[in-house]
Structure 1
């Protein structure tokens, strides 16, 4: 890979796969919200949650602006007639519970730590990922054994933009201190990863 100084990896679908029970995640979210004092039944919550999620998914997909789980959970609670703020620590605690089954369902690609150790001898390494709750992603990167090899971790929730928006790739390049033509991105999405990277002048490989 002549002239390549850094390799960026997508996360979900590239470094690991997840087969989580989304229904269980939503039940845990609701249970924790009730325990935190947001008193509403599951059906009412789910009706409001679906509306809030659909609203913000449209923004995320069409405008490529990232929105954290806390934002649409708070909106769901407001739609259900309760006072709620996305900055409320109680809502983040509920979101943390929501992600627990997800964390437990992560299945990393085989031999990741040894692969990253070998690559680290020649390249700067980083990840650039669309993910709505950064603490969960950072926990995953630690659990799959790659975090200590990374020079930069760029997560859409923290940057505010989703791939394929140029700003998230710019943040990764800035963190690695390389020019676009000196970087290679490895990802599993032809649009968000490959096309987004190539538009920035970054080489890309689809896996």
Structure 2
């Protein structure tokens, strides 16, 4: 296993390589991740407008300072002497699950009986502005149940500080009404992976409600481990959360692949930890495709 400093240096080089068939660099921006919705961690996905930046088509084979790289998979083989995927790490919101309704719609709908008058557009605008502000009360936004952070977000977005309103919103985002699975075939694929010995974990920037959400969607039993930022005290792209997930599964980081929809948090973060990483919606589009890339047939 490479020491952290070496992994970080390697990751910085890998960031400029192609990932699968992608030829664009996806620019991370707060607005692209549907705001957390009082429901979720750093990446609730209400919107999927992704800003892209065109790059030289040969960039996947060229490194920094004249350092020439092969394509991504070949380069990993040169580092680790072969690629084995003994474990799959999966992002939660935007990859495994998505909000069933737009955040602003829910904030307004529930808020009407509490006197919320803002339009959905105004709520969204205020939400984004509040979410982009530095959170100075603690090192992490999602500490334990995340209530202080979400109370700030809700009151800033709607102008309503009613405790009953906040609690209704907060609990709504723990139910199966708030979320649905991205891929209807996910259960079949995860079962096939685990039957062949591949270990599976969720890795998410979320507060402690993630486990109740997974139970509500009847999918908690699909996973061997759950690494939640509020529980491990590290948020993606901090490599610590990925290293913790690998520790929970009992695998080396280089033997794990992480799948997520955010290039900065999921792809760069996982690579900083030494894991392989595929971008959901670009490198892979379904969990069956993930299984195929790992080399596991799904029937």
Tell me if TM exceeds 0.5. Answer: yes
Match of 1:37 in 2: none
Aligned-residue offset at 1:13: 2.4
Match of 2:256 in 1: 183
Aligned-residue offset at 1:151: 1.3
Match of 2:151 in 1: 73
Q: What does 1:54-203 correspond to in 2, within 5 Å?
A: 54-59=129-134, 65-67=140-142, 68=146, 70-74=148-152, 91-97=166-172, 99=173, 103-121=177-195, 122-131=197-206, 133-135=207-209, 137-203=210-276
* Higher gyration radius (CA): 2
> Could you tell me whether the CA contact under 8 Å between 1:117 and 1:149 is conserved in 2?
yes
Rounded Cα–Cα distance in structure 2 between residues aligned with 1:104 and 1:47: 21
> Could you tell me whether the CA contact under 8 Å between 1:103 and 1:140 is conserved in 2?
no
Rounded Cα–Cα distance in structure 2 between residues aligned with 1:48 and 1:14: 25
> Could you tell me whether the CA contact under 8 Å between 2:104 and 2:124 is conserved in 1?
no
Report which stretch shifted further, 109-118 or 186-195. Answer: 186-195
Aligned-residue offset at 1:169: 1.4
Bigger proportion of residues as helix: 1
Aligned-residue offset at 1:4: 2.7
For normalisation by structure 2, the TM-score amounts to 0.51
Aligned-residue offset at 1:11: 1.9
Aligned-residue offset at 1:117: 0.7
SS of residue matched to 1:59:
coil
Aligned-residue offset at 1:108: 2.9
> Could you tell me whether the CA contact under 8 Å between 1:64 and 1:165 is conserved in 2?
no
Task: Tell me how large the CA RMSD over aligned residues is.
Answer: 3.9
Match of 1:26 in 2: 107
Structure 2: give runs of 5+ residues left out of the alignment.
1-81, 285-299
Aligned-residue offset at 1:75: 7.2
Aligned-residue offset at 1:53: 6.5
Deviations 1:137-184 (A, max 9, x none): 334423544311211112223334321112221221221122211211
Aligned-residue offset at 1:8: 0.6
Aligned-residue offset at 1:70: 4.1
Runs of 4+ in 1 over 6 A off after TM superposition: 46-53
Rounded Cα–Cα distance in structure 1 between residues aligned with 2:276 and 2:97: 21
Rounded Cα–Cα distance in structure 1 between residues aligned with 2:252 and 2:83: 14
For normalisation by structure 1, the TM-score amounts to 0.69
Deviations 1:47-68 (A, max 9, x none): 89976863553336xx983333
Structure 1: give runs of 5+ residues left out of the alignment.
35-39
> Could you tell me whether the CA contact under 8 Å between 1:64 and 1:163 is conserved in 2?
no
For CA contacts below 8 A with separation 6 or more, give which structure has more relative contact order: 1
